[in-house]
Each structure stands twice: as C-alpha cells, then as structure tokens.
Amino acid sequence: MNSDGPGNSHVITRIISLSIKNFRGFPGEHKIDTNADLVLLSGPNGYGKTSFMEALLLLLTGYRYAKRSELLINKNAKDFEIGAKIKLDGKDKGKSSLSISYDRDTSESLEELWFKSLASCVGEPQIRESELNSRLCGFFQDRVEALFDETTSGATLRDIFEPLPKWLKDADDYLRYKESGEGGHRDLGEAASELKRKLENFEKEWNARDNYFVNRIDNWPDNKVVLELNQTWDGFIPLYASLVNGSEGWPEPPKQANNKNLTGFTLKVLRKTGNRLPTSGTEETCSNLPDLLISSLNRELDHQLKKTRREAARTTPDSRKIQERLDETNAEIERIRKKFPNLDEELGLFRTDSKGLPDLKPIFLALSENVSRWAKTPIHEGHLSRVKEELEAVVATEAEKCAKLLDEWLTPREEAKEEIIKLERKITELKRKLKASLASDEIDHLKKLKKDLDICLKALKRPWSEMRERQGWQEEKQRREGVREYLKSTLSLIERASMAIESVSSPNHELMEKFRKLIQDVLSRFSLVDNIVPLKLNDKERLNATKKDEVRRSYSIVTKDGRRLGDLSTGQKAQMAVSVLAAQNLAISHMLHHRIILLDDVTTAYDLSNLTREAILWRQLAYGGQEERARRQVFISSHHEDMTNHFLDLLVPPEGRSMRLIRFTGWDPKDGPRYKQFKIEPTGATLKDGELAERTQNLIKDLGTGPWRLL
Amino acid sequence: MDKEDGLQKFLLKNEGGEWVRLKCTWLIAQEIYMSDICIAVHLVPRQPRDSAQWSLEGAREELYTFLRWLGHLAMEEDLVRPVAGVASEDDFKKFGTIALNGVKQWGADQEWHRGSFTFYLEKDDKKVKERLADLLDPTPEIIDRYEPEKARDEEYYLEYILEDSKPLEIKDRNIGLYNSLMNSLGSLALAKGRSSALKEWLNGVLNAADKIGEGVS
C-alpha cells in the first residue's frame, strides 16, 4: 500500500485529546488526553469505555449504533458535543480540531452535521457512507454481526472499488447469452431468445418451401416446364398477330419464351394498353405478371368486341343478297340516266327561277281553264281595261294545247327523277345493311380469337408462373443467406457483448484475492483450529440492498471446510471481524480521511494464547511505519483485568513510540466516568548510547547460563 | 530488498559478530532475532544421540521454558517485547507422524502456554523465513502486498464492453450492428437503465432481417 498515494490531502493521523459533553454515559464535560500511538482503555463494564469509543466513532465517521440520534444525548441533558484536538498530516495543514454537536431540536441529521464538520476540517471524504466508514475502523464486540459487508444493507468495500451499475445488470439480463457444454443448456436473455426464435421460424418456413419446390420439380422437371412454355408461346404468336392486326404501337412478341423475354414483352403490352403494375412489387418480382398479360389482352379484345357489337346491333346479316340488290338498284339508276342523260337540266328548263312563283305548265293549265271567265269579268275601273283586253286575246284552247304538249314532255322526266330518288334511298339502306352484315362476321372472328387467346394464355400462364416461382425461389435462397448471416452476426455480437458484460460485472478476482489474502494474513495470527484457513471469498449479490442505480455486492466469507459466517462460533466470528476490519482498513487506506482504529472490548475475541499474536499486529500498526500516514493510532478497550495486564506488557512501546493507559475506575449518574490516565514509558527509553548493544550482549550471555548451551 | 533478506539486521550476534545459536536436549534455537516489534526464535529439533527416541513432551517442555526465559531475560534488560517461536513441519517429519501431529497441535491450540509467547508451525523453511520477516518487520506484512485499487466507474464498464465486443470480422454490416448496439448501451447507461434503447435496437434488427428476406435493401 502506498501511504502517500491518491487520497485525502488532509489525513487525521492522531486524536491528541478528546472532549465529550453529555454524550451517552458521559454527563457533564470531560477532556481526555489521547496523545499516544496506542491508547489502552481498561475497566469494568458500565464505566464508560464503550461510550468513549462510540463518541470517537461518531466524530470520525458520523455513524451511530443507536437507533435514534436523541438516544445519544445523556438523559440529563438536551444536547451533546464531541470535540477533538487532532493532528493532521497532508500537503496543507488544516484545522487542528474537529467537533460535532447535536441537540434535540436540530433539523439536520447527525450524518449531515458530521459531513459538514469533516469537510471543513479535512475536505470532503472520499467515502461518504457513514456506516461503511464505521466498519472500516471500528470493532465493537457487542455488534460484531454488523461488522461484515455481507450482513449489512449499506455500501461495501466492493461497492467502492467495483460498483455495479443497475443498467449493466439490466443489459446483462437482456443480452445474456450463455451456453453450457452439458446437454447444450442455454441461458438466453430476451434479445438472443427473440433472434433465435426468429431464425428458427425462418428456417422452418424455408424448409417447408424447399420441400414444396423439390416435390414440384420431381413431378414437373425444369426442362419440361421450358418445353411447355415454348410450345404455348408458339401458339400465342399468331393469335396475338390477329389481335393487333397490324395496328401501330403493339410490341413485337419475342421468338424465344423465357421469363426475361416474357416479362419484357408483358411490360410493353401493359404500357401500350395503358395498364400499370400493382403498387406492391417490382417488374421482376410482381408475381401476377402472367395474369396481368392475360387481363390486359382480354381487355383489348373486349374493347374491340364492344365496338363491333355496337355496329352489328343495328343490322341483319346476309350481305351477299344485299349486295346483289344493291347492284340491281345501281343498274336501274344507270339505265334511267342513260334514257335521260340531261334529266336535271331538262327538268329545270320550264321552272321558275323566282321563289314562290308557279312553273310554266300550271300557268297554261290555269289559263286554259279560267281565261274565258276572267275575260268576261265586268271591269269598271279604267286602268284594268288593259288586263281585260289581254285576257280576251288569249285563246283558251291554245293554252290547253300548250299545257298538254308541255305535260307530255315533262311527265316521263319527272317520273324518271322520282324513280332515281327512290332508288338512291334504296341504295343507302342496302349499303347500311351490307355494312352491318359484315360487322357480325367480325364479332364472330373476335369471339373466336378471344376464346383461343384465353385458352392459350391460360396454357402459357401455367409454365410461365411455375418458371417465375422457381426463379423467385432461387433468388429467395440467395436472400436467405443474407438473413442467416445477418441474424448470426447479431447473435455473435450479442454473445460477445454478453461475455464482455459478464466479464466486466464479474468479481474482480485480483482484488478479491488480494482482499482474501489480507483477511487471511490477519486471521492467521490467531491460533486457529483446523479447517478455517485457507479462506475462500465468494461473490455475493445482495438483492435486498440493491440501490436505485446500483446493485450492491459483497464478498461472502467461507472457511476451508465450507462454513459460512453464520456457522462460526462467537469467538471465531469476532476473530474474523477483527481480521476483516484490519484488512479493509489497510486495503482502503488511500481513500480514508484518518488513520485511527477503534477496538472496543476486543480482548473478548482473544484467548490468552492469541494475545501475543495480536499484540504483534497492533504493535506493527501503531509503532511500525516510519511515516505517520503508514501507522495507525490504535484505541483498544478491555474489561478483562488479567488480559488487560497481559496485553499491557505486550504493547509496551519501543523507543520513539508512545502509549497511554486510561483506567476507568468508576461511574456515577451525575459526573459520569471516573478514570485515571497513565503514560506508559517506552522500553529502553532511558538507555544511553551504546547501552542497547550492551544489554543485548548481556541477554546473549544470560541465555547460555541455563539448560540451553551456546553453540 | 526482499523482506527475508532484511532478517539479517534483526539477528542477534555475539561480540565476535557470530550469530547466536543455542541447543538443549531436544531442540536447537537456530537463530534469535530482535526488533522493535518482537523477539523471534527459529527452532529446529535436535537429533538425539545414541539413537534414542526423540521426545515430543521433552521438546515442548524445552520450548516452553526457553521462550518464557527469553522473555523474562529481555524484560530484565529493559528490552520488553512479545516473544515468538517459529518452526518448520519439514524438520519434524523425520520423527514420525505422531511427533509431527503433536508439534502441529502446539501451533493450533496454544492454551498450554497461557499466552506467555506465541508459536507458529510453518510448512517449510521458506515459510519460516517469511513468518519471521513478517513478525519482526516494523510494518505489518500485509501493507507491502496491497496496491491501491482504482475504483471502477461507468466509463470503465462501457470502454471494457466496447473493446471486448468488437467484431472479429470487419464487415460493414458487422460494424454497423456493433455501433448500433454500443450506442444503445451508451443510451442505457446515460439514462441509468431507465431506457428502452436495447428493446428498440432489437426491434430494428428484427425488422432489418425481414427486409433482407424480402430483398429490400
């Protein structure tokens, strides 16, 4: 351990003196000199030793074993105060005193008060948790159970060194991917389970499809499909030619039938007929392309049929007869026209140009029939006499003759004209009938074409669709590889991530081993029964102590023969607790803000035979290191008189180190504890230069005077 | 300097500079050491003369009286220290299992000397030297064995996972997958676990698998 390593800039290396006022068994004010490397407190139970230790623990760590802070106040007072004159070791010298006071009316918690007090003295502690701080420095025999990480609900040493964030555990749960060799047992989180299920479902589906196609190919081999396609295509080409009948814009059908050619042709037909592909799928993947071709051509045929039918609806068939009648009628017209080559001109000769006036013939007829009467008409007005004269000049019989002559010349011509008009009407009608008769044949032709095309296209669809499906299957098989690779890559990534998470969440074995060795080294100073060491430490997740954002973990202690903490005797548990405390204190020293160890009633954990071993450890901690930061100020209390005296002998400090004995001799409710304080002189402290070597030689000489002989 | 090498400075030597060795009937005090912490003696059994049976009881009596006497003499010279005896199992094996088990018992149950000193029985000579060094050294042995640990934090965990999850094959798709998962983990860490980032990531992967199957890039 590097005592000058990273850590608090100020470290409390010594409690020079401690003042206690109205705290637990200390009514009134008491000031106790503690300025020594090791302070031994002795005296019977109930004389204030534990109150002294608890006061020091509260001042250093903010922790109280009492359930409520008020219980710490002496029953005759309403507040308490603990203060210490301290020695600081650090780059900057900080305050030389530390204190904490509490009264019943204060709103702040003891922990908050402690934190403030400490922060103003040595800066904010790296370990904030009071309870953990207390377990790192204070042993209390009557609360030995609370000294172990595995039994506390608070933070632990592991939580400081290797905190496990809850998100990491959540990620571990979700991405977990464990496969054990035995029976292929798997422990999978949601992600791997989902992906495996997905892949399995795919494989099942793919397998079914493969079987389906293999069966189909067995029954209908590929070469036969190709043959059938080409045969039906050959039948399609003339039907198609008949359908388009030389119309512009229709695509040329490919000579060879394969999916690529047919697809291209179909797309061109669709464009020509104004059809579009369905929104789902591409030109290549559109599964109903054959159906689209069929429906497209059918629609074109239907369109043509509809148009032709409309024509045919107004007519009757038998065009040949109509044509003959048409020819006859035309010949009759020709014959008339030959007889009266200038018929229309001749008919116009005696017609009046002016509108509303009669032609010449009726004029003659009118004169022949009426002129005699008109001439006899009495005329009184002079100016009409001229009309009468003219009428009297007309010969009625001559007028009649003219009318007759004109009628004989005009009548055959007028009749010829009427006949021509009649024949022409007849021709129009016959032409219409002839046209209708011809449309009816077209309908029959189109109907037959539709039927043939339908049969052909359906025949074409079967091998073509099959070919397309098989081609789609082959393409799908290629895509499957992509899916497999993708899902397997993802699973592989999850497996790696899961292993990484497990690895980083798993105990820091190096740390665990160091810590185990530390505990064991301290523990082995006790004279242990067999099967305790070597110890094992197990990883323990304390679910009951899980924090909001962090999973609490600790090590659980197991002895060589598999006994856990709960299986140990009281003495063994106490020995284990002392060892764990010393080990933790040393392990985490660089993060602690003080170098104090408190051991209340610790001799209970010891047999007489352990005393020497433990004394050596405390001597090393209290007297050993050259630098103050490397040493501990050790406070030990004991109520066992014999053991205390023996301990006292064993802890006598060497030259340059110091020890104090505080002997509690009585207690009363008003004044609290009575105690005597002693400074224990270091051994050899009075020796002058050279005397140590002389004493040592004396010792060597004396050794050879007994039953043992110098060699 | 190795701790065991440092033992020399604690070795008791006579005025002639020779280290002090003592013998009795059943035991030999091979080396005697003294530091500010304690006085420690390396004890070995003494091979009895004329093929007499080595006495377990006799040896324990000698051990008891010698170590008590040593502590007493030290106190008289104002060199008050705890006293420890250390021996190796290997040295006692030649006297048979009963003798060896008896010596082991001295180390395990020390009620017999009532805490006047302490006695350690180690496996072999190397362990004896280590124990002596540990006892005599002014600083506890465990201090030297412990290096300060750096506390782990979020960054440590994420970096570890990032490094350990890297794809073995560097394909675009693998890198894309890796980056997307790591981003999701980062989001999860940032949100202190209160995020559905991983679930969203998985849904994205499942959808992507469907699209690859459908031929949609």
Ordered structural domains, chain A, with CATH: 10-125+593-703 (3.40.50.300)
- Give the pLDDT confidence of A680-703 residue by residue, as tens digits: 999 877 667 677 788 888 888 888
- Residues A503-514: what's their mean pLDDT? 86
Whether the per-residue pLDDT at A545 is higher than 80: the answer is no
pTM: predicted TM-score of the whole model, two decimal places: 0.70
Lowest mean pLDDT among A115-129, A521-535, A580-594, B183-197: A521-535
Alpha helices in A340-395 (DSSP H): 343-348, 360-375, 385-393
Whether the per-residue pLDDT at A432 is higher than 50: the answer is yes
Whether the per-residue pLDDT at A393 is higher than 90: the answer is no
pLDDT over 70, % of chain A:
93
pLDDT for res A378: 80
Give the pLDDT band (50/70/90) at residue B154.
Answer: confident
Lowest mean pLDDT among A168-182, A691-705, B140-154: B140-154
Whether the per-residue pLDDT at B31 is higher than 90: the answer is yes
Please give the radius of gyration of chain B, using alpha carbons only, rounded to the nearest integer.
32
CA distance A27 to A392: 180
Is A683 within 8 Å of B114 when comparing Cβ atoms? no
pLDDT for res A356: 80
Residue in this structure with the two tokens 């497996």, named with its chain if needed:
A495
Query: A613 and chain B: CB distance < 8 Å anywhere?
Result: yes
pLDDT for res A1: 35
Which residues have C-beta within 8 Å of that of residue A38, sequence separation ≥ 6? A618, A619, A622, A623, A633, A634, A635, A636, A651, A653, A657, A658, A659, A660
Q: Which amino acid is at B140?
A: P
pLDDT for res B143: 53
Query: A497 and chain B: CB distance < 8 Å anywhere?
Result: yes
Question: Nearest C-alpha of chain A: how many angstroms from B8?
Answer: 16
CA proximity to A530, closest of B86, B124, B89, B104:
B104
Question: For residue B73, which residues of chain A lie inside 8 Å, CB to CB?
Answer: 699, 702-703
pLDDT for res A304: 86
pLDDT for res B1: 44
What count of other Cβ atoms lies within 10 Å of the Cβ of residue A397?
Answer: 8
- Give the pLDDT confidence of A626-674 residue by residue, as tens digits: 788 789 999 999 988 888 888 899 999 998 999 999 999 999 999 999 9
Whether the per-residue pLDDT at A93 is higher than 80: the answer is no
Is B107 within 8 Å of A486 when comparing Cβ atoms? no
> Could you say which DSSP state residue A26 is in?
E
- Residues A585-592: what's their mean pLDDT? 85
Of residues B139 and A410, more confidence is placed in: A410
pLDDT over 90, % of chain A:
46
Give the pLDDT band (50/70/90) at residue A546.
Answer: low
CA-angle at A81, arms to A75 and A86, nearest 5°: 145
Lowest mean pLDDT among A118-122, A302-306, A590-594, B46-50: B46-50
Give the pLDDT band (50/70/90) at residue A323.
Answer: confident
Residue A184: both structure tokens together: 């292929």
CA distance A463 to A687: 118
pLDDT for res A2: 37
CA distance A678 to A656: 17
Whether the per-residue pLDDT at A6 is higher than 50: the answer is no
Give the pLDDT band (50/70/90) at residue A278.
Answer: low
Lowest mean pLDDT among A214-228, A249-263, A306-320, A453-467: A306-320
8 A C-beta contact, residue A72 and residue A699? no
Residues 457-486 of A with CB under 8 A from B: 475-476, 479-480, 482-483, 485-486
Is A696 within 8 Å of B77 when comparing Cβ atoms? yes
Burial state string for B168-186 with b = 16 or more CB within 10 A and e = fewer than 16: eeeeebbeebbebbbebbe
pLDDT for res A4: 41
Residues 165-184 of A with CB under 8 A from B: 165-171, 174-175
Question: For residue B118, which residues of chain A lie inside 8 Å, CB to CB?
Answer: 527, 609, 612-613, 616
pLDDT for res A384: 78
- Give the pLDDT confidence of B74-120 residue by residue, as tens digits: 999 989 999 999 999 999 999 999 999 999 988 777 778 878 899 99
pLDDT for res A480: 94
Is B115 within 8 Å of A610 when comparing Cβ atoms? yes
- Any idea of the CA torsion for B8, B12, B15, B21, to the nearest 10 degrees? -110
Instruction: Name the residue among B115, B151, B181 with its Cβ closest to that of A611.
Output: B115
Is A171 within 8 Å of B160 when comparing Cβ atoms? no
Whether the per-residue pLDDT at B139 is higher than 80: the answer is no
Average pLDDT, chain A: 87
